[in-house]
Structure 1
Amino acid sequence: MRPCSNKEEISSTAKLIYSVTLCKEEHPECRVSAIVSALEKAHLTPKFRGSDITQLQNCKTATFEDVGDGHFISPPKKAKYSVSEEGVDGSGDTHTTDTTFKESLVSTGAEISLVDYVVASAKITKNPPIGFALICPHAVPDGPLGFCSGGNVAIAARHAQRVHGLQRVFIIDISAHPGKGTNDMFYDDPDVFFLSIHQDGILPGAGKIDHIGRGKGAGATLNVPLPQFSGDFSMQTVLCQVIVPCTQRFKPDIILVSAGYDAHVQDPQSKLQFLTRTYYLLASCIKKLAEDLCGGRCVFFLEGGDNLESLSNSVADSFRALMGEPSNSAEFDSRYFVIMEPYLGARQAVQKIKQIHSL
């Protein structure tokens, strides 16, 4: 176990524990600052909640052993990309510099410390806190992609297996973009179930409905590509008819969530129409699944989200869901932005998935 400096403060009363990692290069990490400000404004921090909410402090930096399996950007001296102050040649929209690797190790240390805390708490209480890592998102196994420099949720999954002996890991990716890196990492692995909900065709060639795993891992990957303009109704359909039965059938030892907020109707990165309340319902349901199936062991990892207002409000409402408190989404959600959902397209996608996976 790689503990934080406050390991002795594991509490049997905490409902939520979170970590914050701010990078020097604030693209797109300015969103972490915006989220922290929103949490303060919403009184969703230890300052206002006492022991109910804990922020993990002074976490140890991850080691090469922690980020094994090659699912991380290589150090600059070993990178396949040309590293300079201008970024990494070939990394597309991912801005990285010669400090990116070190900062990524700091983020990874925070995330695996959250896993350690949640697992340790589950040993002393039936209601351990849910973890939420406000850090940098994932990438593909051999390099950076899509504003992402490291495979955080994949590293956390392997850490849970290797260090804590939690064999069966269920990963839910709710970003608007397919979780290509995580998908590829576990495509042959029957012990890691990867479920991705995303916009159909937003990343060509990735996240197709018939991408279901390979070899021993066949059936342990499930992609839910939703048509453009799918929103709250479509997500609730997927939640009830896909996420819940898949998780119940897999019987995980821990649930990890790639918590992307770029499917929000106000976000410029997609043409989906999720609302703040959509994320509240998702977090509430996932929390209940963790309580019912794996002793409450569950950790969320921040992913996409480029509209700082909708991102911050949605993360704050996710915190309320994980705390078991009422949603505040009515204050933020406006139907002004929403057009008619493609109900038929969403239903057809769900029906095809149910046939493929015998749900």
Structure 2
Amino acid sequence: MRFGYNEACLNHDTGERHPENPDRLRAIREGLKRKHGVEYVDPAPATDAAVAAVHDDDYVAEIRDFCESGGGNWDPDTVASDGTWDAALASAGLAQWAAEEALAGAEGRETPFALGRPPGHHAVEEDAMGFCFVNNVAVAAQSVLDDGDADRVAVFDWDVHHGNGTQDIFYDRGDVFYASVHESGLYPGTGELDETGEGPGEGTTLNAPLGAGAGDGDYLAVIDDAVAPAVERFDPDLLLVSAGFDAHRHDPISRMRVSTEGYALMAGRMRTLADDCDAGLGFVLEGGYGLDTLSEGVSIVHETFDGRPPIDSDDASDDQTRELVDDLRAAFDLD
């Protein structure tokens, strides 16, 4: 894979004990040192105007001034420093790069993966939250739509937390399909099955809230039987993956049971889905707070695109997941 990376993302200082810290990127880079075919690209940061295309103008000015004045606690979980705004622009620019490269035809070993921080999928139009300041994947999607490079964009979010910000920004839009598989009841408490969009966006939001302890078989069942057919019917030009690795069975802040190989299997499913839709495919880093599991997750996705076939899982979905899938298929008329 080709990885977008910008050193400015290390300058977002959250303090010694915060789970979202610069060591996340350092661990990923260290893990990738041992892998074949890794290439890094340092694209330009996003502009304030690109950020303001999905965020409120007053919020953009306020959060920029907050960071440039030294930062602090925006809320109890979301911490900024004087380097945060530049890091946020760099992270959003990396997501833009991934979207542009995917639409330009990058695939296989050149599939783009944006390694930015702070993450973005919790940032709503007018507020920062959940470690996120700028909604990176939303900036990327909006940029390619505004530039006329795509007419329809799909976002699949496999982070363990629901991407409330991405959902909210596009909830009443018909040109962006947002699908999320996440742990039910976990922060921020959104992402119920009946949240399906409104107005022109009705039917373009798909949420699969899984019970705690869900593993590879549960995630794959949701992808195979609900997410993939719904996205394929939407027929996007671009598929972006909000790739958090905090559903890993050894991540310190979730209760899910996805294995490292499970991420390879999900990445393979996304590659197949993009091919079936004749869509570009790009990955954008979100969460993942165990340094070893985060590094392993990104590495296994890279290996999947470097020619290593994912190993099929014997893990089966449970009855609760099958019921959820049936409900999703009924709600989106996939039968």
Q: TM-score, normalised by structure 1?
A: 0.82
Aligned letter for 2:111?
A: I
In the alignment, what sits opposite 2:24?
A: 31
Moved more, 193-202 or 60-69: 60-69
Q: Map 1:49-60 onto structure 2 (within 5 A).
A: 54-57=39-42, 59-60=43-44
Q: Does 1:129 align with 2:110?
A: yes
In the alignment, what sits opposite 1:251?
A: 235
What percent of counterpart residues are identical?
A: 32
CA distance in 1, matches of 2:71, 2:298: 31
Q: Would you say the 8 A contact 1:121–1:128 is kept in 2?
A: no
Q: 1:100 to 1:228 in 2, by over 3 A?
A: same
Q: 1:127 to 1:38 in 2, by over 3 A?
A: closer
Query: How much has 1:278 moved relative to structure 2?
Result: 0.9
Query: How much has 1:329 moved relative to structure 2?
Result: 11
Q: Does 1:324 align with 2:307?
A: yes
CA distance in 2, matches of 1:76, 1:256: 24
Structure 2 counterpart SS, 1:223:
strand
Q: Would you say the 8 A contact 2:109–2:305 is kept in 1?
A: no
CA distance in 1, matches of 2:312, 2:128: 34
Q: Map 1:298-313 onto structure 2 (within 5 A).
A: 298-313=281-296
Structure 1 counterpart SS, 2:208:
strand
CA distance in 2, matches of 1:351, 1:256: 25
In the alignment, what sits opposite 1:153?
A: 137
Query: How much has 1:61 moved relative to structure 2?
Result: 2.5
Q: 1:25 to 1:204 in 2, by over 3 A?
A: closer
Query: How much has 1:110 moved relative to structure 2?
Result: 2.5
1:302-353 alpha-carbon deviations (Å, 9 max, x no partner): 01101111111111001111233234899xxxx9xxxx98812111111111
In the alignment, what sits opposite 1:17?
A: 2
Aligned letter for 2:40?
A: Q
CA distance in 2, matches of 1:241, 1:222: 12
Q: TM-score, normalised by structure 2?
A: 0.88
Q: Would you say the 8 A contact 1:112–1:159 is kept in 2?
A: yes
Structure 1 counterpart SS, 2:320:
helix
1:103-161 alpha-carbon deviations (Å, 9 max, x no partner): 21122222212322332346xxx868321001121122222211112100000100111
1:64-95 alpha-carbon deviations (Å, 9 max, x no partner): 22213343896786249965546134x22111
In the alignment, what sits opposite 1:10?
A: none
1:28-79 alpha-carbon deviations (Å, 9 max, x no partner): 231111001101123342xxxxxxxx3213x222212221334389678624
Query: How much has 1:205 moved relative to structure 2?
Result: 4.0
Structure 1 counterpart SS, 2:177:
strand
In the alignment, what sits opposite 2:17?
A: none
CA distance in 1, matches of 2:23, 2:110: 26
Moved more, 167-176 or 23-32: 23-32
Structure 1 counterpart SS, 2:251:
coil
Q: Map 1:1-359 onto structure 2 (within 5 A).
A: 16-21=1-6, 22-26=9-13, 27-45=20-38, 54-57=39-42, 59-71=43-55, 78-79=62-63, 85=70, 87-89=72-74, 91-121=75-105, 129-136=110-117, 137-138=119-120, 139-203=123-187, 205-295=189-279, 297-327=280-310, 343-359=318-334
1:151-202 alpha-carbon deviations (Å, 9 max, x no partner): 0000010011111430110100001000000000000011100001000011
Q: Would you say the 8 A contact 1:72–1:149 is kept in 2?
A: no
CA distance in 1, matches of 2:134, 2:79: 13
Structure 2 counterpart SS, 1:201:
coil
1:273-295 alpha-carbon deviations (Å, 9 max, x no partner): 10011110110111121122124
Aligned letter for 1:226?
A: L
Query: How much has 1:228 moved relative to structure 2?
Result: 0.7
Larger of the two Rg values belongs to structure: 1
Moved more, 349-358 or 177-186: 349-358
Aligned letter for 1:43?
A: H
Question: Any gaps of 5 or more consecutive residues in structure 2?
Answer: 14-19
Q: 1:282 to 1:314 in 2, by over 3 A?
A: same
Moved more, 176-185 or 240-249: 240-249
Moved more, 197-206 or 73-82: 73-82
Q: 1:284 to 1:73 in 2, by over 3 A?
A: farther
Q: CA RMSD in A?
A: 2.7
Question: Any gaps of 5 or more consecutive residues in structure 1?
Answer: 1-15, 46-53
CA distance in 2, matches of 1:242, 1:99: 41
Q: Would you say the 8 A contact 1:82–1:88 is kept in 2?
A: no
CA distance in 1, matches of 2:284, 2:56: 16
Q: Would you say the 8 A contact 1:73–1:144 is kept in 2?
A: no
CA distance in 1, matches of 2:208, 2:318: 15
Structure 2 counterpart SS, 1:305:
coil
Moved more, 150-159 or 127-136: 127-136
